């Protein structure tokens, strides 16, 4: 067992067939006009072209990519179902997206949050009118949706319509940079990289899709190495936005779509957040900056034309100020 407990967390997830190119294109039509079509922005450099482009999902209406998947899912619900209300379990960004989408339809939203959720994210979630219930770490990882009460439950990463919505990022990357060779993507539960990677590979099979996690929470890398889901302790990390379990539903899908995995240190995450803020004028949370941290530690000759998915921008003001003013 290597000292690691099996991970039985599902959060109500059931096995599903990965979305296809048709699903990604249908999602793009559903979310058009509400979710932003974010641009590709060159990473600022004083030393010429570094071959790195940024996909700033922090520019979405809720400051994260999550709005794509939540909206794609909500638009498939009947009005009768939506009026029952929407609920989820979240580390922060999914709850914000759920609240935003619920407001579009004039329905109620609820979210279960870990007690570790950063203050800034909690305040933003409340700003969207989402009802919040905090859970201890044991309650959070042991959550079952049938205990959540009435309403439509949205799984934060193992929902096929969420994955399809996330795949619209991959469609946009290919449209804007068909010569892309490597895409770095933060990995939590796996919904983002599964969507982005599968959409890209449907259009360009040779593209490399590389997942990124903090050294302080190497959950995916550990599970990939062992070939099974296990519980991995999360040490304090700026990349708290990827604090999601690796489930038996998502692990096989992750192993299919990822061509590699990079772990980054806390210093590397801080440096990436700082560089984005000072040079590209982009406010990005720690989890959102994982992709750039990984690209910067990868030799240009190995990555080629590169896109870094900046997954979100929900960072506490005092934390951002400390990073910017720090060494």
Which of 154, 180, 196 delimits the end of a domain?
154
Q: How confident is the model at residue 5 (pLDDT cuts 50, 70, 90)?
A: low
Q: Do 255 and 186 belong to one domain?
A: yes
Q: How confident is the model at residue 48 (pLDDT cuts 50, 70, 90)?
A: confident
Q: What DSSP string describes 198-210?
A: HHHHHH-TT-EEE
Q: Do 239 and 258 belong to one domain?
A: yes
Mean local confidence (pLDDT), 160-173? 97
pLDDT at 148: 59
CATH code, 113: 3.40.50.1100
User: Is 110 inside a domain boundary?
Assistant: yes
Q: Do 79 and 185 belong to one domain?
A: no
Q: Do 187 and 96 belong to one domain?
A: no
Do 248 and 10 contact (CB within 8 A), yes or no?
Answer: yes
Rounded to the nearest integer, the mean pLDDT of the chain is 92
Q: Do 273 and 148 belong to one domain?
A: no
pLDDT at 76: 96
Q: Do 169 and 221 belong to one domain?
A: yes
Q: Do 187 and 83 belong to one domain?
A: no
Tens digit of each residue's pLDDT (9 = 90 or more) over 78-137: 999 999 999 999 888 899 999 999 999 999 999 999 888 888 889 999 999 999 999 987
The answer to whether residue 1 scores a pLDDT higher than 50 is no
Q: How confident is the model at residue 292 (pLDDT cuts 50, 70, 90)?
A: very high
pLDDT at 143: 83
pLDDT at 98: 96
Q: How confident is the model at residue 2 (pLDDT cuts 50, 70, 90)?
A: very low
Measured distance CA(211)–CA(200) in Å, rounded: 14
Tens digit of each residue's pLDDT (9 = 90 or more) over 264-287: 999 999 999 999 999 999 999 999
Q: Could you give the number of structural domains in the chain?
A: 2
Q: What DSSP string describes 63-122?
A: SBTHHHHHHHHHTTS-HHHHTT-EEEEESSHHHHHHHHHHHHHT--EEEEEETTS-HHHH
Range(s) of the domain holding residue 35: 21-64+160-325
What is the helix, strand, coil percentage profile of the chain, to 5?
45, 15, 40
| Stated pTM of the model | 0.93
Q: Do 88 and 56 belong to one domain?
A: no
Tens digit of each residue's pLDDT (9 = 90 or more) over 216-274: 999 999 998 888 888 888 889 999 888 888 888 999 999 999 999 999 999 999 999 99
């Amino acid at each position: 067992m290597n000292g690691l407990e099996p991970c039985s967390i599902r959060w109500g997830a059931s096995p599903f067939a990965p979305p296809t190119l048709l699903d990604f294109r249908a999602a793009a039509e559903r979310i058009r006009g509400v979710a932003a079509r974010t641009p590709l922005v060159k990473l600022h450099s004083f030393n010429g072209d570094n071959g790195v482009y940024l996909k700033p999902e922090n520019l979405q209406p809720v400051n994260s990519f999550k709005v794509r998947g939540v909206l794609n899912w909500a638009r498939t619900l009947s009005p009768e179902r939506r009026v029952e209300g929407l609920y989820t379990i979240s580390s922060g960004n999914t709850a914000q997206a759920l609240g935003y989408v619920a407001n579009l339809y004039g329905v109620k939203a609820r979210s279960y949050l870990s007690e570790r959720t950063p203050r800034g994210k909690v305040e933003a979630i409340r700003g969207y009118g989402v009802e919040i219930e905090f859970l201890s770490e044991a309650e959070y990882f042991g959550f079952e949706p049938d205990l959540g009460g009435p309403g439509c439950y949205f799984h934060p990463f193992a929902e096929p319509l969420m994955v399809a919505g996330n795949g619209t990022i991959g469609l946009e990357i290919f449209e804007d940079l068909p010569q892309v060779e490597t895409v770095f993507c933060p990995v939590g539960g796996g919904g983002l990289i599964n969507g982005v990677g599968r959409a890209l590979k449907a259009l360009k099979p040779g593209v490399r899709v590389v997942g990124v996690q903090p050294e302080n929470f190497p959950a995916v890398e550990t599970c990939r190495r062992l070939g099974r889901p296990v519980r991995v302790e999360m040490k304090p990390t700026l990349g708290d936005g990827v604090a999601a379990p690796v489930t038996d539903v998502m692990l096989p899908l992750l192993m299919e779509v990822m061509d590699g995995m990079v772990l980054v240190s806390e210093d590397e995450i801080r440096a990436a957040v700082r560089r984005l803020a000072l040079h590209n004028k982009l406010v990005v949370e720690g989890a959102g900056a994982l992709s750039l941290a990984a690209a910067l530690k990868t030799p240009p000759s190995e990555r080629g034309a590169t896109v870094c998915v900046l997954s979100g921008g929900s960072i506490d003001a005092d934390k951002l100020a400390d990073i910017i003013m720090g060494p």
